Amino acid sequence: MKHNKHTYIKLFTSTFYLSAFTFGGGFVIIPLMKKIFVDDLHWIEEDEMLNLAAIAQSSPGAVAVNAAILLGYRIAGVFGALMTILGTILPPFITISIISIFYSAFRDNAIISAVLKGMQAGVAAVIADVVLNLGGSVIKDKDIISSLVMVGAFVATFFLKVNVMFIILICGLIGAAKVLININKSNKGGDSK
Amino acid sequence: MILLELFWSFMQIGMFSIGGGMAAIPLIQNQVVNINQWLTLTEFTDLITIAEMTPGPIAINSATFVGIRIAGLPGAIVATLGCVLPSAVIVFTLAWIYNKYKELTVIKGILSGLRPAIVALIASAGLTIFILAIWGEGGFSSDPQSINITSALLFTMGIFILRKWRLNPIVVMLGSGLIGGLVYSLI
């Protein structure tokens, strides 16, 4: 892809919008990034987006910032990463700067809290949509281990509140074990499938 | 030098908050309330409330908030940069390693194990927000009275529009915020 001015501007504006309207932080921004950079712009593949998400989650710091750095770097190099960092950091920076001055008025404003409440429902809908797409494609792969990992990881994080780092570690190990066993099998002349 | 102290404190927060989001709260509290006494505990609780009501990662929000309270705009800039710097360095390193070795079978295997896990993490984050939107702070309840009807309708409309017309997600989010505000003002 050509790294022209248009790419940089698009990287900045897309991450700026996403960051400005993503409440709750953490993983919420990943499905939104996927929606824009994979589904709308077709700049990277779905698999690659999930790989970047895994790296973002395993690194220290805010997941949203990490994912933005990785995405920007992957699409348009170091300068692209600078664009996405700025795009991700500026909205909360501006919002908080303003709010810290008007905090008590903001907290007690009923209309603002109604708008925020409405947006929560919208964000939930967007995430549900992405989960249906991604989950569907994992199941369609007909790889039983992948499907089990998905269900297991969900139960572990949502119901059992297992530390996310631990889940990442275990699932990575399962994946590594899977390919190593496959290699072993094919070396012995068995069915490598 | 207060700016240097801000930078150093938030650099530590950025470096050691692994897993993001809520995991960062105790670290921030330790630096901001216990060690440096930049905020009282009440102010810190207010900060967490603001951070939850506004967009952006909690660590960035607190860096901006604390920075501006302690040393004005320069403070906010320095604290935010300090917060981002460690992750930028580490993530760049990991991205480089990933690009160099992503064709290795073992790395491919690890990533193939991680992808379904990431889908699960997204699903979990989504469900948490869904419950917050529909039932509020109290969490899931089987009592139909506790359902926020406006939110439930907005969610249903949102998912229908997204699946049927593949609309830009930002339009859906902004639209539901707008409708939420309107419904509140009218009722």
Concatenated DSSP letters of chain A: ----HHHHHHHHHHHHHHHHH-BS-GGGHHHHHIIIIIIIS--S-HHHHHHHHHHHHHSBS-HHHHHHHHHHHHHHHHHHHHHHHHHHHHHHHHHHHHHHHSHHHHHH-HHHHHHHHHHHHHHHHHHHHHHHHHHHHHHHTT-HHHHHHHHHHHIIIIIS---HHHHHHHHHHHHHHHHHHHHHHHHTTS---
Q: Which residues of chain B neighbour A167 with C-beta distances below 8 Å? A: 117, 120-121
Output the average pLDDT for chain B: 85
Shortest distance, CA A106 to any CA of chain B (angstroms): 9
**Average pLDDT value for residue range B89-118:** 85
The structure tokens 């139909």 sit at B144
pLDDT digits (tens, 9 = 90+) for B24-46: 777 788 889 888 999 888 788 77
Q: Which residues of chain B neighbour A41 with C-beta distances below 8 Å? A: none
Q: What confidence score (pLDDT) does residue A90 get?
A: 94
Of A17, A47, A73, the CB nearest to B115: A47
Output the average pLDDT for chain A: 85
Domain ranges of chain A: 5-118, 141-193
**Average pLDDT value for residue range A150-175:** 88
Q: Which residue has the higher pLDDT, B26 or B65?
A: B65
pLDDT over threshold 60, residue A91:
yes
Q: Which residue has the higher pLDDT, B183 or B105?
A: B183
Q: Which residue has the higher pLDDT, A180 or A187?
A: A180
Domain ranges of chain B: 2-101, 105-186
Of A182-191, B15-24, B43-52, B175-184, the poorest mean pLDDT is in B15-24
Of A58-67, A183-192, B23-32, B74-83, the poorest mean pLDDT is in A183-192
Q: What confidence score (pLDDT) does residue A59 get?
A: 80
B3 close contact with A: CB closer than 8 A: no
Q: What confidence score (pLDDT) does residue A23 get?
A: 67
B74 close contact with A: CB closer than 8 A: no
pTM exceeds 0.90: no
Shortest distance, CA A5 to any CA of chain B (angstroms): 22
**Average pLDDT value for residue range B61-79:** 92
pLDDT over threshold 70, residue B22:
no
**Contact call for A26 and B21, based on CB within 8 A:** yes
- Contact (CB, 8 A) for B16 and A61: no
Q: What confidence score (pLDDT) does residue A193 get?
A: 40
The complex scores an ipTM of 0.74
